[in-house]
Amino acid sequence: MRELEERIVKDGKVLPGNIIKIDGFLNHRVDCALMGRMADEFAKYYDIDNVDIVLTAEASGIALAAICALKWGKQMLYAKKAKSDNIEGGLYASEIYSYTYKKKVTQIVAKDWLKSGDRVLIIDDFMANGEAARGLCDIVDQAGAELVGVGIAVEKGFQAGGQRLRDMGINYHALAIIDKADENGIVFRKQEGE
């Protein structure tokens, strides 16, 4: 998505350790209008009529997933990183390693909100090693739900996460794929239709 790539170049920063800081519009301060256009772009790659639930991970994927779900008239569900007292009944749980926080995290979803037969589209803000997406796919599988696909706003193409999902045959699409990011700038991968 050209607009997203331009925004990354304009407002993003590359920090040491290949950290790409785009929290000024994507996952801290949120440009809702841009996210609405991202939802329109995702709708080109997935049969939205065949989606019941938009699933994401706490916390930075919530804004994008919520805007997508609102635009598409779908329910949005997010996997929590900790069990709170207000979750009753059983849980689906998947342990992942958080690239952002450099520690193991357990993603959880209450069994009340994800059922066998639900058609699920995972939407998240960022893909590095793919652990969050892997954990969400695992939760969908545990529920006996159907994975429609995985949509990611920004993929670090020089890390393994996106390719791992492609190799698994998952209907996967990233709106912007960064192949290189360093002090000399950001290089995006050419995608179909460009």
Average pLDDT over residues 53-71: 96
Q: Report the candidate in 105, 113, 126 with the shortest Cα–Cα distance to residue 78.
A: 113
Domains and CATH numbers, the chain: 2-188 (3.40.50.2020)
CA distance 20 to 128: 10
Is beta strand 53-57 parallel, antiparallel or unpaired with respect to 119-127?
parallel
Q: What's the pTM?
A: 0.94
- What pLDDT does 141 receive? 98
Share above pLDDT 90 across residues of the chain, in percent, rounded to a whole number: 84
Q: Report the candidate in 131, 177, 139, 175 with the shortest Cα–Cα distance to residue 55.
A: 139
CA distance 45 to 125: 16
CA distance 167 to 147: 15
Q: What is the average pLDDT value for the chain, to the nearest integer?
A: 93
User: Which two structure tokens, joined as six digits, stand for 152?
Assistant: 């990611």
Model pLDDT for residues 117-158, shown as the tens digit of each residue: 999 999 999 999 999 999 999 999 999 999 999 999 999 999
Q: Is the pLDDT of residue 82 over 80?
A: no
- What pLDDT does 126 receive? 94
Model pLDDT for residues 163-178, shown as the tens digit of each residue: 999 999 999 999 999 9
Is beta strand 53-57 parallel, antiparallel or unpaired with respect to 19-21?
unpaired
Model pLDDT for residues 97-114, shown as the tens digit of each residue: 887 778 899 999 999 999
